[in-house]
Amino acid sequence: MATIIRHGETCTVKVAKASKSVEAVVQNFIFEKTLDVVLNKSVKLSLKWNGRIYEGRGAGMDVESTGPEIYKTQTGIRG
């Protein structure tokens, strides 16, 4: 049996020093390693896993995210 990890298409990105949060489209995601998101169809941010959340820098601002919603599925012997 294998575990398949799937994720949602969007996630919430928050500016660390301000209280602003925006929805971002997930472009690339590796569970507990990296998260690449696109804001407003023009700004791409790369976030790295720090052991608790994803964080990174973009346009002079520190941003953080808990990542997209995760769906784990167990497969049986016959797929």
- Read off the pLDDT of residues 24-48 as tens digits, 9 standing for 90 and up: 999 999 999 999 999 988 899 999 9
73 strand-pairing partners: 4
From residue 41, how far is each of 12, 56, 58 by CA, in Å?
15, 18, 15
Say what the pTM is. 0.84
Give the per-residue pLDDT at 79. 58
When pLDDT is averaged across residues 60-77 and rounded to a whole number, the result is 91
Structural domain that includes position 22: 3-74
**CA–CA separation, 65 and 35 (whole Å):** 9
- Total domains in the fold of the chain: 1
Considering the domain boundaries, does residue 79 fall inside one? no
Considering the domain boundaries, does residue 52 fall inside one? yes
Q: Mapping DSSP to helix (H, G, I), strand (E, B) and coil, where does residue 13 land? A: strand
Count of helices and strands (H, E) across the chain: 0, 8
